[in-house]
Structures are given as C-alpha cells and as structure tokens.
Structure 1
Amino acid sequence: MSENCVEILGKKARQAEKFLNTVSQNLKNDALLSIADALVKNTEFILFENKKDVENAQANGISKAMCDRLALTSERIKGIADGVKKVADLPDPIGGADFMTKRPNGLVIAKRRVPLGVVGVIYEARPNVTVDTAVLCLKSSNAVILRGGKEAVNSNLALAKIMQDAISPLGFPDGTISLVPDTSRDSANAMMTANEYIDVLIPRGGASLINAVVKNATVPVIQTGVGNCHAYVDDECDFDMAVDIIVNAKTSRPSVCNALETVLINKNIDKSFYKKLEDALRAKNVEIRGCDECLKVFETAKKATEDDYKYEFLDYIIAVKIVDGMDEALAHIDKYGTKHSEVIITENYEKANKFLDSADAAAVYVNASTRFTDGGEFGLGAEIGISTQKMHARGPMGLNELTSYKYVVYGNGQIR
C-alpha cells in the first residue's frame, strides 16, 4: 500500500514537473503569497490539528524539548507565513546563466540554472519543515513529495492541504506539493527506491533517520542535519561573551541541529571562568557532563561517557572537556564532529584564523553562536536543511542549492 501511494504521488509529481519547467516567476510569486495568506487565515484549523500531535507526543513520553519543536502557536504560524513572503521576494534562481561564452567556431554556449525535478524529503517532528520545504521547491520550480514523521502527521496533513488548495486556483497541478499520508517505515523505504519518480532525496532529522536513508536509498541523497556542534573556548577570550554565546547556542532551542552540544575549554583559562559558566548554565537548568578535570572545577558536573561526546543531546544537557589547547580541540572535533557548525571564542586574531582554516564543517564561526546556521539568518530565505556533505551543496540549502544546470548551445549551422 505504501509503495503504491508513493507511486501515485510520484506520477502526479512528474506531471507537475512539466508545468513547473515553464511557469513564470510572477506566477510562482503569486502562488507563494497565496500560501502565506492561506496559512494565516487557517490558523485556527492548523492549531486544532497541531494540538492533536502535541497531546499524542506528551502521552507517548516525548521530551519537553521535542514537544516544543513540534508545537505551533499563532505567532509561529505568522512567522512561517512571513518566511514564505520572504522567499517570494528572493531572486528566482531558474533560467539565469552562470556564464556564457562564444567559441571560435561561432557557437554560443551558456550554463543555465534548471530545477532538480522532483524532490523527495523525509523528515521528523517539525511541522514548519513542511512549509519551508514546499515553498523553496515551488520557488525553484521543483515538484516535492513530503513524508513527515508520525509525531506531526495531523499538522503536516493540514499544512499540505492548505498549501495545495491555495495554489490550485492559479493553475498549479495537484502534484506540485504532495504529502505521503502513511508514516510507516514502508513509505520511507518506498521513497528511497522510487528512482522513476524522485530525482533527489533529502533526509532531515536525527542520526538514525539520516543514516538509514544514506545506507538504503537508491535515489541520489543529499545528506543533512546531524549537528554535534562544538565551541572551543580559548584562554584569550572575553569571559562574558563566551558565556553568552554558549548559553544562547545551547538553550535558545536545544532540540534543533544548530544547538551547541559540547564545550572544549583551554586548560590555561583563568579558573574564575568555570564558576561564571556553571552559574549561567545552572540558571537555565542545563546539566553538565564533563571529563575528570571538569569534575574538579564544576560543582554540579556529572562524569561524561564517550557517548556524551559522540551524539546530539537535543536537550538541556551539555558535554564539557578541558583540553591542552586548540590542537587537541580540533582533534576532538575531527573525531566526534558531524561537519555541521563549530565555533572558536577568542580575542586572538591568529588563533581565530587557524581555527577557521582547520575546522572541517559547513559553517565555522569566530565569536558567534552556532544558532545562526540557518537559511533565514544567512539571508537565503527559508532552508530545506543544512547539508553536511561536500558534493553539490554544503551548509544551509536555499534556492540555488535546489537547482542543477544544463548547457544550452546556440549555433548557425556549425558541424563537427
């Protein structure tokens, strides 16, 4: 049944792809504005459906942080709608030429931006992803097949219906925005092997989901999401700034992939820093798990295991390790990091540049919170995910990352 459902949606998406290949920029923007208006107008319906998901999550013992990630409010819906309008204001990536050249034989060759085609996205508990993904795909002239997690199924069904209903009067086919209603593993597996209908598959969620898609998909995959993010606190840093950055990166939304998970502290730092950091984290109810040296300087720290340095907490927990210096910090990041976002906090210019050059991640910061790794914060509008690989796309994936290219060649009778 799941495979058949994906096949039906895939056929519709292929039909929509043909329409989207020739749709005008103005019509796409009109569709996006229609979606934004429809989201606001249907706020009560969205909240009603979202409440079902939140109550189910609470009944199933989902953590407070994950429930916050799932929950929608009137303000969040308005924010999502405002994000749609921002995407409408962005330049259209389709049709523009990356370069054009005229060969000695008179051929004019241009490299032109084109859609990927049909984009499949498998994701977990954040209903805003449903909207972000759909509008980015529409703006970049891609049809999209969405498959959310069971935790947000009611919210996702409502959002997908509202969006498709909003654009249908403008002539957009049903397959422009599709949502797989089946949240079983079977539907995910069907999408992973739907090469006839899906051109690229993007998993967005926790490590187990992403690893399953990467290992099992025959459809080309863009790997995104897992964010075991680190902050290296140099001994030459502003203590207040360091504490502010760490607290913000850990606690502003601990359940998202750009949240901070591990702090690495230079052993030569003044001992007063430890109390300042511990007091600030304790005020936010953050549990510290640290190395043996940490247990000597933090009053409330618990002994960290290797797994504490290896995995995302996505919760009010942070791992801490005291290191000899930047080289040990970089070695730790290289061993445990997921190539998402890393930050150095220092007043030393040379150390900052060394860290920028040496840390292997999609986003590397000096003296700023990792929470800025986000399409909106980078000026890309909404994002479809944070790519942690190096091929095709890396970092926040906005409109340009949802395109490919083809060469168009103009001649006047040339033969070879």
Structure 2
Amino acid sequence: MSSALVAVSNPQTVEKSITSFTSVALISHLILFQTFFVISFFLTTINFYSHLRRAHYVTLEDVLRKIVKRYIRFTSAQVILIALQSRWFVHLSRGLFWEQVMGSEARLCSEMWWTNLLYINNFFFDHGLCLLHTWSLSADFQLTVIGLLILWWTQKNSKRLFLVSGGLLLVQVTWTFFYLGWNNFEFGTLYTPESLYGFTFLFRKEWQATWTTTVSNLAGLAWGLLFGYIYSHRQNNTFITKKSDHIWWYAIVLISTFGTIFFSGYYKTSDYYSSSRWFAASYGSIEKVVCVFGISLFIFGTLQGLGGFVRNVLEWAPMHTLGTLSFGAYLVHFVFLNIDNALKRNPSYFSPYLITSEIFKNVVMSNFCSVILTAFVLMPMENLTNKFL
C-alpha cells in the first residue's frame, strides 16, 4: 500500500490490481494482524491466573498496577518517537514529496500527540493521526483494561468468564452487522487506487467500524480470555490426541483463517460480486470473529505439540530475539515507510520487485533501530517498572 502513497509512473498496474485475486487476497491478509491481539490477551490471562495461584486472590490494586505497567511500556518509546516525528525528522531532508509526507506527519504529531498518550487516537481518524499505525496500541490498551477488569471480576467464578466472553463476541457481531447494514456499506473494504493513494481508506467509516474501534476488536480479547483460561487450568491435559483430531485441527485452522481471506479475495474479484447491504453486513460482522478463532486455535494447538514445521520455526532460538525486537520494530516501521516515500525524486514504477525491495529495506532498518530502542528504552523501563511496581 505504501508503494502507492505517492506518484507512480504506471498507474494502470495499480488500477488493475483491484481486479487481481492475488492482490486483493494479499491485502485481505491484513486481518492476520489480529494475531497480536490474541497473543496479548492470551498471555495476559495466563499471567493473571499464575498470579492468582500464588496469591489466592488478585486485588483491584494488583489490576491497576498491571495497567500502569502496560501504559509505561507502550508510552516510554512512543514519547521519543512522537518527539522525533514532530520536531526532528522533518528537517532530515527535502524534496518533491518530503513536505507532503513528512511535513504533514510533523504537523499532526504537533497537534494530536495527546491522543496517542491517552490511547484514544483510534477514535480521532477524522482529525488525522500522529503515527498512523499506533491506533492498534490504543485498541490494545483499551482492551487490556477491559480484559483485566473482567478477569478480576470473574476470578472466583469461571462461569462468569465464559458468559462475559460470549457476550463480547455477541456485541461485536451485532454492532458491526447493524452498523454496516444501516449505513449500506460495501462488502468489506475495497482497496481502490483512490483509497490507497495517501491512505485515504483509513478515513472511511466502514474501515474504521470494522478495524480500529474497540468494539471491532473484541474478538481478540474474547478468544484470548477463553483459550488463556483453558490453557491455565488444563495445561497438563492433552486435548488433541487422536490422529483424526489432528486432521480436524489443521482443517479448522486453515479454513477459518486462510479460508476467510481467500474467500474475500475471490468474491471481491469475481463476476458474482454483490453490494447487497445485508450480505456485506453479515460478512463484515463474522469474518474477524471466525478468523480470530482460527488464530487462537492454532496457538492453543501448538502448545499441545501440533504444528509440525511451523511450530519448530516458532521455537527456533533466533525467533526469541526477533520476538523481543518485534514491538520496537512495529513502532518505527511506519516512519521508514514514510521516509522512503518522501525521499523519492521521481514517480515509482509499481512492480513486485519494488514492493519486495521496500519490504526488505523496511524490515532490516526497523529491526536495526529496534535494537537501539529496546536496549536503551524498552528494557530499562521494563526493569524499572518491575522493580518499583
């Protein structure tokens, strides 16, 4: 998407991309971003019940302490990034697109920084966002507060946890269905060239309703709480033992995750595409819930010893280091996307080679900067908070 942020010399290719199954299916893979929410709340639940087993009761003060730790972890690095984005990065260079990209980012961070630090910027898209990608941190923080309060309230009655988690799923499905249907929005979000240019699709109400709001991400919280509870209380039990169970596990995971993605890509590019408001509302309301269930089931299955080669890769020692760097890399990666586009002197030739090379550069630079950010900011702050909180 970032490759189409500024001018391209072959706009026909971008125009045709929305009719390509491969392109639309690749963009639809954005839904796998929900993996981060699932892991976050899965681990939060496991840590909560681990604390509960030691202390026999988790007080509201303990919950507030965990929330403060989360806030400090998210904020410590973000403050530095906001300061650099609003005052320093804009003076690094100049060029045809520099003011258009970096200048606008600097102005937004100077005006809207407070929404980042209060973690409410996912509700302020119409006013413009400082560090556009940090809407997910706001959603994560909001859901963390809700999740910890739910765990605290249900710690002595597990039935409440299952009822509340089911209620969260019902709220997301119902709210999304009626919101999309009432406003007659299209089937999902169509990433047209007009919407990709300048990331203007971010300001569309259907995208915000199905992506950035707290309600639209309740599935990650609900499934994370449920599977985290099951793992915490039954981690010594093996549920998936028979060969037939293994087959069913693989089938359900693949169908519920990649199946929903490929269906989206196929339907949006087929001759059967329909803009029926109620079909769009139905799909938009259940797609994320089904996909997140598949992600949660995959994580739970790997802890049961399934996954084969994929599990071996995830347990590979270097992946631990990359996991430590992942948060810092996520924080800075969008800055490098903007800088790369802002430095362009001529329109780009949109091609798979361009996309691949930009991804490679971004991954390398983001992880390199994350080493510095993690070593000098994130890890010291985490040690300090653990010591004093």
Give me the TM-score of the superposition, normalised by structure 2: 0.29
In proportion to residue count, which structure has more helix?
2
Q: Which has the higher contact order (CA 8 A, sep 6+)?
A: 2
Give me the TM-score of the superposition, normalised by structure 1: 0.27
Query: Larger radius of gyration, structure 1 or 2?
Result: 1
In proportion to residue count, which structure has more strand?
1
